[in-house]
Amino acid sequence: MSSQGYEEELRSEQSYVAGLYERLDAERIRAKDQFKAALRYDGGTPMDRDDKVRSTAREVRRLDVADHGLCFGRLDAISGEHSYVGRIGLFDEENDFEPVLLDWRAPAARPFYTATGATPEGMRRRRQFLTRGRRVVEFTDEVFGRPSDDVHGDTALLAAVNAPRGEGMRDIVATIQSEQDEIIRLEHPGVLVIEGGPGTGKTVVALHRVAYLLYTQRERMERHGVLVVGPNPAFINHISRVLPSLGESDVVFMTPGELVPGLRATAEDGEEAARLKGSLKMLDILKAAIADRQLLPEQPVEIGLREAPLRIDAATAEWARDEARTSGLPHNEARATFTEIITYVLTERALGRIGRGWLTRDDKEAWEQLRVELVKELAEDELFTATIDRLWPVLTPETLLASLYESPERLTAAGGDPVLLRADGAAWTVSDVPLLDELVDLLGPDKPADDTAERERKAQAEYAARVLDSMIGRADSMDDEDHLYATDLLYAEDLADRFVEVDTRDLAERAAADRDWTYRHVVVDEAQELSEMDWRVLMRRCPGRSFTVVGDLAQRRSPAGATSWGQMLERYVPGRWVYRSLTVNYRTPAEIMSVAAALLAEFAPDVQPPESVRANGVAPWARKVTEDELPAAIEEFVRDEADREGTSVVIGPPGVPGTVTASETKGLEFDAVLVVDPERILADGPRGAAELYVALTRATQRLGVLHQGALPSALTGLAETQVTR
């Protein structure tokens, strides 16, 4: 194309994209007007109003996210037709709703990511736009069927990976590569495992897969939403903007330490305690700890009913305990069975004594009346109540687990290892969270399920709903001789509104606060770190077993984590999980990846490192410093990077001032990384090697290493390019 022809084409594309923005603005105004109208809507039921508000709010959010990069390319078919591809779909209402912009997730847009010279998929040309704000500043063309050494997306892709990092992860909707697109659109109803080394984009691919599923399965998924689980709060903050930027907000983000509502654990256990807590052996320990609280009286307890002395002895309590345990109910619910058996025994004994000589079994009415009175008297007896509380106490997950950790005697009785002992039992760690969640089911609710006030409220709500249904039905069927006034319907609806609680929170807020909420899909990032007990929690949250699992076994640092995907998944989804890998590193330049690959070859020789898509010509460096020189060297790095665009981080072993640990940076990326004391990081054994591998692969541009001792053998290549700063 001549220079003049290019300029003419550029002006044409600028005009078209400007028209798309005009259409976007008009639709946004209309959507906001509809949202305001929904807020004022006074017809229908409260649920109708709630649905209208939520659906119009969702449309406003969908349109609001499209300002940046609304349209990023064009597809020209061999037939002569062409389509524009962008962040959302837009349609021409005056022309039979013809698409003027294809949503990137639409089937018709797929060739934009997958067409090649060898398999053009009916396309003649792919055009990619470079935009600033709302303006197209340039474009590049790839014509299929013409000899070329170019790889699709190189221009846009390299521009994206070389750009300075901001505060959060960016979407890749404009630069999705073919192997990524295949995974994003994979139609698999079970568990999809995406494994890839550092920088392969596995996290962002998983998030785009969520956006794709929400687009293609909206009706099935939107009422239950999606849960995304990441390793730490910094990671969650880093990725949390991707899905909203793609117009999706029905998503809950959590760390493993937040899977129990109201709890936010970040502390970690030592290696042995973490390994034990993460194993399925804890199920037996928890059950034994509960059984240990179901007691028999050491001495008979005397209860007086109408001057008839009665005893709760060990035999009676054992019978009641056996019946309660075999009921199959959780501990707190089985307490009713335990109480019922003891009540039965005591009242039967009391009936025989009190009625001796004047009451026979033929006097059924008097007999039953006396039984009712005795049961009531027993329930109000303070000693009886205190005895039941002692023999079969109401337990909460927190009180049971804390007391187990604090008591050597209780821990021994439950078959637990002394490594679990600690002074403050309630100082919760991340490994405690799945145990607390398990105990929710093992113990059951700690309040009676038949609470009188709650029953009355529900009965009133049901009555109000029946009144409303009846009056509306009467209005629908009445003839001219009937008279039903508007005030009648208003009264009925007011009555219903009094008892129907309208939850105005959005889906993400409601789901995050509800331990029993179930999701349609779950994304698990850094999944190699999750224990067997963690997986039990997640499987409870998603009964449909629809998961996208993201990880890299070579980066596993948790002693309770996965050593193979089958080990964790076959138990729950036998034959229903598939594996896909990503092999291209889009983040780490070749110069840095060669250093990390040398380390990987030492501690995981069977793992193939990902191939970097680019080199940046900046050699990573190392410098030996003394303990006194270390603080100044760190400050120097921080000062130098502050003058540059982008982000930076200093990573070191625990306890080094001015540094964070590698585990705190998992899943994150920075323009520049300084690794401090790699020899001390490695000293933590296999976990330390994985930590150092993570640290070395966080950088997108520049990597430096400060060491006080000998440089680890895997990093000796750095010594050859050692620099003084």
d(CA 546, CA 211): 14
Overall residue count recorded for the chain in this entry: 725
Do the bridges between strand 621-624 and strand 699-707 make them parallel or antiparallel, or are there none, so unpaired?
parallel
Q: Say whether 4 sits in a helix, a strand or coil.
A: helix
d(CA 18, CA 71): 10
Q: Say whether 305 sits in a helix, a strand or coil.
A: strand
SS (H, E, C) 609-672: CCEECCCCCCCCEEEECCCCCHHHHHHHHHHHHHCCCCCEEEECCCCCCCCECHHHHCCCCEEE
Which run of H or of E encompasses 474? helix 452-477
d(CA 36, CA 39): 5
b/e per residue, 169-208, with b = 16+ CB within 10 A? bbbbbbbbbebbbebbbeeeebbbbbbbbbbbbbbbbbbb
Tokens of 517: 């909420």
Tokens of 257: 């330490």
d(CA 671, CA 85): 30
Whole-Å CA distances, 527 to 1, 520, 547, 550:
49, 18, 11, 6
78, 143 in Cβ contact below 8 A? no
What is the DSSP annotation of 552-617? -GGG---TTS-S-HHHHHTTTSTT-EEEEEE-EESSS-HHHHHHHHHHHHHH-TTSPPPEES---S
Dmax over Cα atoms in the chain, in whole Å? 119
Q: Is 278 annotated as a binding residue?
A: no
d(CA 141, CA 43): 53
Tokens of 492: 């009925």
Alpha helices in 478-579 (DSSP H): 486-499, 507-512, 532-541, 565-569
Tokens of 479: 């003839």
Q: Is 202 annotated as a binding residue?
A: yes
Tokens of 320: 């009641």
Q: Is 196 annotated as a binding residue?
A: yes
Closest CA to 415 of 279, 233, 318, 299: 279
Q: Which long-range contacts (CB under 8 A, 24 or more apart) does 351-358 make?
A: 353/308, 354/305, 354/306, 354/308
d(CA 649, CA 638): 8
d(CA 12, CA 18): 10
Q: Is 201 annotated as a binding residue?
A: yes
d(CA 167, CA 645): 12
SS (H, E, C) 81-113: CEEEEECCCEEEHHHCCEEEEEECCCHHHCHHH
Q: Is 203 annotated as a binding residue?
A: yes
Q: Is 355 annotated as a binding residue?
A: no
Task: Please report, in range form, the residues annotated as the binding site for ATP.
Answer: 196-203
Annotated binding site: 196-203
